[in-house]
Copies of this chain bind each other. A is one copy, B any other.
Amino acid sequence: MAKFKLDDTDHSILDMLIDNTRTPFTDIAKKLDISAGTVHVRVKKMEEAGIITGSSLKLDYKKLGYSFIAYVGIFLNKTSQTQFVLERINEIPSVTVAHVTTGKFNIFCKIRAKNTSHAKDIIYKIDDIDGVTRTETMISLEESINDKKRLMHSIFNALD
């Protein structure tokens, strides 16, 4: 795949879409003083290049009854079991993301649950996976999400 180079126009388009994926292309066009057709072509190119891989809704999980977040560090018997355990973990819907890591833990994941009791069930489920020797849980008391926009600006402007 050829290296894809984004210019300022692309940056501005991403900048507007990252906050609201349904921003009309005509609005973007007006703000950038280009035509809507151009916006369309640019977005399509970024999709084709795999820069934009999709879009998703932001949901308020608390309002859906899922107010509990924790991180679970996992210790394995042997690192050769990593892929197997990773696959088992990903079968649990409450595990939102898992990482194979260096350092203290072999695998490290984030879980979303209804409450402590529900979280306990999930952690037990993880503990039960073949090859898992021990887990260590960190409960989130407060989550603070950094705006994606800020990271994007730093990427495009080489700050940070």
Smallest CB gap from A86: residue in B = B144
Interface residues on A, range: 35 or more
Taken residue by residue from 98 to 109, chain A's Cβ proximity to chain B (1 for < 8 Å, 0 otherwise) reads as 111111110010
A26 within 8 A of B: no
- Looking at the assembled complex, report how far the CB atom of A121 sits from the nearest CB atom of chain B, in whole angstroms: 8
Are A146 and B108 CB-contacts (below 8 A) given A51-B64, A58-B55?
A: no
Smallest CB gap from A121: residue in B = B160
Taken residue by residue from 57 to 74, chain A's Cβ proximity to chain B (1 for < 8 Å, 0 otherwise) reads as 111110111100101000
A49 to B64, CA, bound (A): 11
Contact between A20 and B54 (Cβ–Cβ < 8 Å)? yes
Residues of A within 8 A of B (CB): 4, 14, 17-22, 49-61, 63-66, 69, 71, 86, 90, 92-105, 108, 112, 118, 121-122, 136-146, 148, 150-155, 159-160
